[in-house]
Amino acid sequence: MSANIFTSFRVFIHFATIMLILFFASIKTNAQEVIMQDKPALTSEVLLAYVAKKQAEKLFDPTSWAGVQPASNLNNQSLGEFISLKYRPTNKKIKIAANERECLAQALYHEARGEPEIGQWAVANVILNRVESKKYPNSVCGVVFQNANGKKYRCQFTFACDGRSDNGGVGNRIVRASWVRSNLIALSAFKQYQQGKKLDTLPPSTLYYHTINVAPSWSKVFKRVAQIGSHIFYAPS
């Protein structure tokens, strides 16, 4: 009788142990499911955010700066050369940008005010292409007024050396409206240029144009790109 009771007790203990194991396993599984539900999905955005966080922590952790040495050529002389040659105060940059926009507006007004809007954009495109080209000055005003101090009618853009005022917008309502339009196009085109965006009216290689009323000898040498309005545009062959 005692042997049967002992056997039954062992069976009960074994059964109870199994139930406890299953109970705690169930609790652990449920807890893991809750934790996983609270975590965001492992997407590329989450990974990038994690990497950025770690990089930021390292950047602002002074212990990570150990062993970092300053550039050997960073001295008072090099700083002075940078300030004298490259550094420009903000107010000077603003003034230079305003002058560049004005030069571009003057060119559009005198060279293409009678053209459709796309024709003015095409002239702006040529001017900014020249600014980017090593063959021409690296500023808008430098391109527009290149050789303007030389002989009359011997410069790149006729209005710049014809002996008359380069300002525009003086006259009747049509003339004033043309001046406003030229300024608006110049403002938009130069802003795109500042932002590193290429104008797409013409290819970047387009550097030359003339009106349909003339046939300069150089037009036979260069590659014709397009005719827009009364201007024909060319690129080097």
pLDDT at residue 208 in the model: 98
Q: Which amino acid is at 71?
A: A
Q: Is residue 77 part of a domain?
A: no
Question: How far apart, in whole angstroms, are the C-alpha atoms of residue 210 and residue 201?
Answer: 16
pLDDT per residue over 180-214, tens digit each? 999 999 999 999 999 999 999 999 999 999 999 99
109 versus 85: the higher-pLDDT residue is 109
Tell me, what CATH number does 137's domain have? 1.10.10.2520
- CA angle 97/103/107 to nearest 5° reads 145
Q: Is residue 146 part of a domain?
A: yes
Number of compact structural domains in the chain? 1
Asked if 168 and 110 count as a contact pair (C-beta separation under 8 A), the reply is yes
pTM confidence score:
0.64
Q: Is residue 70 part of a domain?
A: no
Asked if 120 and 112 count as a contact pair (C-beta separation under 8 A), the reply is yes
Mean pLDDT of 19-33: 55
Averaged pLDDT score across all residues of the chain:
81
- For residue 167, what are the domain limits? 90-199
Question: How far apart, in whole angstroms, are the C-alpha atoms of residue 58 and residue 125?
Answer: 45
pLDDT at residue 153 in the model: 84
Q: Is residue 7 part of a domain?
A: no
Question: How far apart, in whole angstroms, are the C-alpha atoms of residue 167 and residue 104?
Answer: 12
Least confident stretch, 19-33, 80-94, 121-135? 19-33
Mean pLDDT of 32-51: 55
**pLDDT class of 228 with cuts at 50, 70, 90:** very high
Q: Is residue 124 part of a domain?
A: yes
pLDDT at 14 over 80: no
Phi, psi (degrees; rounded to nearest 5) at 172 = -75, -175
Q: Is residue 64 part of a domain?
A: no
Least confident stretch, 25-39, 183-197, 211-225? 25-39
Total residue count of the chain as it appears in this document: 237
